Structure formats: C-alpha cells, structure tokens
Structure 1
C-alpha cells in the first residue's frame, strides 16, 4: 500500500460555543475561543490517500488531481469563511478542530476515484495544536 499526502492551507474564523450551556460555562470550558466576536486561524491541512500504484502511471493518484479535488471541495468552502455560519458540512455543529477534520474526511471520501481510499486528515489549527483522523 502506498500513501500520498497533499498539503493545503486555509484561513477561517469560528467560535467554540455550546448553545446548551450558559455563557459562563462556555467561557470556563472554551476560554477565549468562546468569544462572541469569533476568532481566526491559519489552518494547515494534510490529506493522505492510499492505494496501489496504477501500472501505467506509477501513481496512487495524480497529485494534481488530488490537489484540484481538495481545492474545489474543501478549500473553496472553508477559506476566508466563518465556519460556524457559512460552511454547509459544519452547519449546526460545534466547530472544534476535531469536528472540522471529520467533516473534511466525509467531503473528501465522496470525491475520490474508486481505487483510492482516504487514509488520514491531519489538520493544524495552530503551530502547537493539530488533530489526525483516520476514519471510524
């Protein structure tokens, strides 16, 4: 099995806020990330797919095609957007980095050629915090 990773970047705003909790509870749990006026991140996104190389090209998948899918299906939806309000696959969800990575996985999985599988979504929210999702 071979693994191909493509890195992209996007910038977005969000807030962490559970509507079932009081403002005080949200601030206690999420701190400044519960700011009513939102906050932003410069996200680094790594999408890794896996498969067997095509005998004619030697590719698991053409990296250019992978990049086009990521840009069209993910980056266009997330870049310079408010994740809580403007992104269809995050609507009515708590926009933690975990939830965002899960949503990206689900969007990507629908768009890959049948001989290619998702392996990992790695999403860096900051230089110190990132998540990796390998599917369920």
Structure 2
C-alpha cells in the first residue's frame, strides 16, 4: 500500500542575485535590491515529501533516519550560510527559491524516495520541484478585501435565502480574501528563475488586486453583474484574467487558489 509522507526542516541563509559577467547597472536593473552587497537573508522552511510502500512497521520511511539525512545533506550545510558560496551549483545558477529547491532534490534523491520538494522563502513566496529536469512551480500569495452578495437574479429574496442563507442578505457581506497564484516554467540555467518575480507581482496587481480590492463585487465588477460571485466563480474569473498576461511573461499559469475564510477555499487549474 503506497503512501506519501512529508518531513519539515528549517535553515536560515543569505544570498545575493548578482551576475559578474554584466555591469553593476545591469545587475541593479535586473535584480533590484536583491543585487545589493553583501546580500540578504531568509528563514527558509523546507518540506520534503517521500513516497513508498508502508512497511511491516507501519512506516514509509523511518523519520528519525529521514531527519538525520536532511541534517547531514542539507540543513547542516545551508544553515547560517551564504548560499552563493556554499554549494558549487549556485556558482552556475543563482540561488533563487526555485533553484534551491531543485538542487536540494538532486542532493537528496540518492538517499530518499522523493516525490516533491517544497521550499518557502517566506510565507508569501514558495517553490515546488518534482524532479522534472529544469521545470519548477513558483507560488506567490497576496490578498484583497471585497464584499459580495450571493443571490440568483431570477429568484425571489425568499428563494435566494433558502439557497444561500445569510449570504443572500440584500446589503451583502465582506471577506479578506487570500489569493495564491502558481506558475510553471523552466528554470533559467544562469539566472535561476522561471519568471521575472517583479513582473509577476505587477501582473497580479494590475489584473486582479486593483480590480477587486475594496469593491462590492456584484456592483463594481461588470463580470459579476450576471455571474454570482461565489468563491468558485471568482476563482475561475481570476484564472481567466491572469492566463494570457502570465503567458506573455514566458511562464504558464498552473493554478489559482482563492481562500475566502479559514473554512472555505476554491482552486482552479489552467
């Protein structure tokens, strides 16, 4: 019987985005504040997922051994380090979040039956790598606040209340929405990114946040004049708004996840 287990680990490290083959001005234009000397740091959170058959002891892997391997092969080497100089792989390809995840996979795959490496640079940026050459996923998280009313335009107030309950009240209600956008692409063999992160943030801000934030969705967003702004419909609409602009950045939109509350969220794949 096959099962997937995940082990968490942490390390703190610094890095710098800097290419010696281009000028200082070009590095600043390309990487912004991330090019500053001597670098900047993060408290990285690593999730290592393993797949395998459950053995006679009820385990896929002995987690004590997994912990030891992660310490020996990853965290003891990366913790409190300057990544650019720590592993030779980072002299060829910059230590971006997605490339760090890729290199960790390559260093662990000989020891553990990996299925996914997930690396958080911070709570609003993380990468997933699954051993597919240079392909990786990058997720950014953001938020907006909006109000909506759930009511079908062709039903009476009583009928809407029967379907949607308190969400059908005429003055609506609001949420602090959390939005996660995942893109897929090939890691650039020199720069280490799958997409220009600043450009990705701008696309999300221009096409979603500026449009949705502090609005009454039913009245302020033309799309929702006829379409009921449920979390599901919002997720689909956001996916459709982002697909082409992200493609124009050279990446592919993989998934949109919209969290309405701690109890409810919706996902749509592209």
Listed as ranges, the gaps of 5+ residues in structure 2 are 1-134
Unaligned runs of 5+ in 1: none
Q: Deviations over 1:68-108 (max 9, x none)?
A: 11111100000000111112343321100000000100110
Pick aligned residue for 1:22 from 142, 145, 156: 156
Measured in 2, the distance between the counterparts of 1:120 and 1:128 equals 20
Partner in structure 1 of residue 269 of structure 2 = 134
| TM-score, length of structure 2 as denominator length | 0.48
Query: What is the distance in 1 between the residues matched to 2:177 and 2:206?
Result: 17
State the alpha-carbon separation in 2 of the partners of residues 60 and 39 from structure 1. Answer: 38
> Any conservation in 2 of the 1:11–1:43 contact (CA below 8 Å)?
yes
Distance 1:107 1:57 in 2: 28
Question: What count of residue pairs does the alignment treat as equivalent?
Answer: 135
Say if 1:9 and 1:45, in contact at 8 Å, map to a contact too. Answer: yes
- Tell me which of the two structures has the higher relative contact order, counting C-alpha pairs closer than 8 angstroms and 6 or more residues apart: 1
Structure possessing the higher radius of gyration over alpha carbons: 2
Report the Cα distance in structure 1 between the residues aligned to 2:227 and 2:151, rounded to whole angstroms: 10
Is residue 42 from structure 1 mapped to residue 212 from structure 2 by the alignment?
Answer: no
> Which of these residues, 137, 142, 145, is aligned with residue 3 of structure 1?
137
Indicate how the Cα distance of structure 1 residues 19 and 39 shifts in structure 2: closer, same or farther if over 3 A, else same: same
Q: Which residue of 246, 252, 256 maps to 1:121?
A: 256
Pick from 239, 250, 253 the counterpart of residue 105 of structure 1.
239
Coordinate RMSD, CA, aligned: 1.2
Matched-pair contact (CA < 8 Å) for 1:69–1:111: yes
In the TM superposition, what whole-angstrom CA distance separates every residue of 1:5-28 from its partner, at most 9, and x where no partner exists? Answer: 110100000000001222111101
- Tell me how far 1:54 sits from its aligned partner: 1.9
